[in-house]
Structure 1
Amino acid sequence: MAGETVTLSPLTLQPVIHPLLLLALCAPVAFVAVRCLLHARSGRPRTSWSLRLAALLVCAVLALRPGVTGGETETQTTDTDIVILVDTTASIVAEDWGDGEPRLAGVRSDVERIVAAYPGARFALITFDAEPQLRLPLTTDTAALRSALEVLTPEVTRQSRGSSIGIAHDMLAQTLRSAAETSPERSRMAFYLGDGEQTAESEPESFAASAELLDAGAVLGYGTTEGGRMKEQVGGVGAPGGGGYILDGSDPAVSTIDEDALRAIADDLGVPYEHRIPDAAPTLPEAPTSTTTRAAGSAGDVIDLSWAVALLLAALLAADAALVATALPAVLRVARPARAGSPGAPSKGDAG
């Protein structure tokens, strides 16, 4: 029953553990407290045990998580579909992001910012290297998007055969077209995250077919003109680089950003281009469809009263601590051994 909701209108209980288990835990302690209360002398001891018994009962109530129905929660919803394209070629791990980090670290950080900027939007994730891949169809499950990015690794180095920075053009157009057909009232955005390095012999494909399906978006570029070395990728989910660097002859290969190519993609899509640097957040456009704040589920939501029960518990514990503190001097006087020669102390002649 833990995690379930029990409604005693208008009171609602959401126990953190099963009530029978809670009873089994509290009953022995309550028995000891009641026994001590009955055997305690009147005055301070009885008051102290009464406070402790009350504190135990309040703890039990706190574990039941009481609340009342009728609260309202506000949720933000962005009526927008957002497609994120991420470069997963070997160059995306070139170590020229920040303090020698791979470019992929910047990509992950910026995707987090994109998710935060458009609460309630639907997100799709497309990755591309030698082939494009729809990693995540349109969904509001941002946890799934984060998980997909967390385990994202570039293509295996030994399997790389050159890649085109425009290879995902058709998949992007298909995803946007499908979204437009199923939800024409929603706006559509696309974010392209890559370094613009074309390693295929052919010219990059054009993204122009997607422009008419887009309301906004951006192309974000990663890397430097000085470039960075790339670790070999050995494959496997979450597998790090193989330890060595990709070689160009006998020297480590260096990947540099191609901003002209990225600007060409931005022009095709009709969106702005921005070169990303670690110390600044990306400039993200406003959602074409306004972000709205809505009151949700006024009849079914619960106002949690645990904070009030916790305050009562703190007051009972404080009162008991105060009683113990006032009794402490008397206890110390009784416990302190009588000094030799002090009034009332037995003399040596009295011994025996």
Structure 2
Amino acid sequence: MIFQPVLNVFLLLLLFAPVAAVAVIAMVRRRVGDPPVLTWVLRLVMIVACFAMLLRPGVPGGTTQSLATDTDIVLVVDTTASIVAEDWDGAKPRLDGVRDDVQAIVDEYPGARFALIVFAASAELRMPLTTDTTALISSLEVLRPEVTSRSRGSSVGIAARMLDDTLTNAAKASSERSRMVFYFGDGEQTDGGTPESFASSAAFTDGGAVFGYGTAEGGPMKLTTGGVDPSSGSGEYIQYQGQNALSTIDEANLQTIAEQLGVPYQHREADAAPELPAAPTTTTTLSESGEVGNVIELYWVFALLVAVLLAVELARATMLVARLRALKAPVPEPSPVPERHEGGES
């Protein structure tokens, strides 16, 4: 038997002990007119059952082996205005595809540490290496592209220096761990210059991929204000020469980035799952999954008992209310009987 209490055990005792003491005192000092002893016994049982339910008892279901990936994975995500161009899965923003693919990567490499780099006019380490995948997914959920009014063009390689620094620091801190890089973008070079090279990161990259989003026909882009709420913008589209500006994918730039990193390139589409490389075998191990993850929960037994005892209390309360109403109901007075006189007259 193991326990997974919803609160600290001492806090639960602090909450339930006074209530149980009141029930015991009521039974001991019962006076005439008080509820019968059995009623207080049932109430005490209900208190104990609630306490046991919150302790969340369970029986271990055994241990299982799970795959643990001792790998550092760096995600490099384009957050320029074009990442919300609406040509993913019909007319959805490309950023939706990025989020779906990141989730697939998280599922594929359990136990890995993840870092998130975002880039537009400049690069930013949004999240350092961590095993907290919940925080990673949450960060992507609130991720918004650069503010349209502040956009001055961007380079697809602006994150090269930050990626190199992140991988170098990871290698120094944990040389025994492998490192993978996943780049997410559409390849559009809009600052007029030559993209920075990712070649310096190749020596620290053991795997990964470059994922390209967008179509040759292009997709329109909505104006963005930088708000967390995606509906906070005006809903209008970026204009160019009186028409909606279209963002198209530049696969040549993306192929170049993949070659510099030494990883494959994939053009991503919504109707196909990403092809993810296997994690380096030297850092993939089988670990014993703890008993907590394989527990047969028993709290429902006590929850059922509490429900039954509450039903008994409700039935008893209903009966008492019915009796009180019967006692308070006025007794109708008998109607007077008319006197009868001789001669048949009343």
Report the TM-score when normalising by structure 1. Answer: 0.73
Match 2:191 to one of 200, 203, 213: 200
- Displacement of 1:106 in angstroms is 1.1
1:254 to 234, 238, 246: 246
Is 1:224–1:257's contact at 8 Å kept on the other side of the alignment?
yes
- In structure 1, distance between residues paired with 2:18 and 2:166: 56
8 Å Cα contact 2:57/2:298 also seen in 1? no
Are 1:283 and 2:275 matched, yes or no? Answer: yes
Offset at 1:317? 6.4
Deviation at 1:46, TM superposition (A): 9.1
Letter in 2 for 1:291: T
Distance 1:151 1:25, change over 3 A: same
Q: Residues 98-147 of structure 1: CA distance to partner in whole angstroms, max 9, x if unpaired? A: 24221111111211211121111111111111111111222222233223
Return the offset for 1:183: 1.4
Rounded Cα–Cα distance in structure 2 between residues aligned with 1:209 and 1:165: 16
Q: Who is 1:314 aligned against?
A: 304
Q: SS state of the match for residue 235, structure 2?
A: strand
Mark the CA change 1:250 to 1:77 in structure 2 (over 3 Å): closer, same or farther: same
Distance, in Å, in 2 between the alignment partners of 1:159 and 1:303 is 51
* CA shift in 2, pair 1:181/1:39, >3 Å: same
**Alignment pair present for 1:163 and 2:154:** yes
Q: Give 1:295 deviation, angstroms.
A: 3.3
- The structure 2 residue matched to 1:23, chosen from 17, 22, 37, is 17
Please list the CA deviations of residues 193-226 of structure 1 after superposition, one character each: whole Å capped at 9, or x if unmatched. 0011111212222222222221110011111122
| Maintained 8 Å contact 1:156/1:234 | yes
Q: Indicate whether 1:292 and 2:285 are aligned.
A: yes
Give the distance between the partners of 1:130 and 1:12, measured in 2 at CA: 48
Q: Distance in 1 between matches of 2:52 and 2:25?
A: 17
Q: CA deviation at 1:54?
A: 3.6
Aligned residues: 315
- Corresponding residue of 1:271: 263
Matched residue, 2:327 = none
Which of 105, 108, 115 is residue 124 of structure 1 equivalent to? Answer: 115
Residue 148 of structure 1 aligns with an amino acid whose one-letter code is: S
1:5 aligned partner: none
Given that 1:118 and 1:291 are in contact with CA atoms closer than 8 Å, whether structure 2 keeps it comes out as no
Partner Cα distance (2:90, 2:70) in 1 = 38
Instruction: Report SS of the residue matched to 2:76.
Output: strand
Aligned pairs for 1:1-352 (under 5 A) are 14-15=8-9, 17-26=11-20, 54-66=45-57, 76-238=67-229, 240-289=232-281, 290-295=283-288, 307-308=297-298, 310-311=300-301, 314=304
For the 8 Å contact 2:71–2:178, the answer to whether it is kept is yes
- Which one-letter code corresponds to 1:256 in the other structure? T
CA contact (8 A) 1:92 1:102 kept: yes
User: Quick check: 142-151 or 267-276, which moved more?
Assistant: 142-151
The gaps in structure 1 that reach 5 residues or longer are: 1-8, 326-352
Cα pair distance change 1:47/1:87, threshold 3 Å: same
Counterpart of 1:293 in 2: which secondary structure? strand
Please, what is the CA RMSD of the aligned residues?
4.1
- C-alpha change, 1:46 and 1:73, in structure 2 (3 Å) is farther
Partners of 1:122 and 1:246 in 2: CA distance:
37
Secondary structure of the 1:193 match is: strand
Moved more, 287-296 or 180-189: 287-296
Amino acid at match of 1:229: P
CA distance in 1 between partners of 2:4 and 2:191 (Å)? 63
TM-score (norm 2): 0.75
- Taking the aligned partners of 2:117 and 2:83, their CA distance within structure 1 comes to 15
Q: Distance in 1 between matches of 2:4 and 2:267?
A: 52
> In the alignment, which residue of structure 1 is the partner of 2:329?
none
Change (3 A) 1:24 1:49: closer
Query: Take 2:310 and 2:115, find their aligned partners in 1: how far apart are those partners?
Result: 57
211 and 137 in structure 1: CA distance in 2 versus 1, 3 angstrom threshold: same
Mapped to 2, the partners of 1:309 and 1:97 lie a distance apart of 45
Q: Aligned equivalents of 1:135 and 1:206: distance in 2?
A: 21
2:69 is matched by which residue type in structure 1? T
Q: For 1:235 and 1:316, locate their aligned partners in 2 and report how far apart those are by CA, in whole Å.
A: 50
Aligned residue type for 1:283: E
Contact 1:190–1:214 (8 Å) recurs in 2: yes
Is residue 26–residue 40 contact of structure 2 (8 Å, CA) maintained in 1? no
With over 3 angstroms needed to count, the CA separation of the structure-2 counterparts of 1:130 and 1:313, relative to structure 1, is closer
Separation (CA, whole Å) in 2 of partners of 1:308 and 1:232 = 53
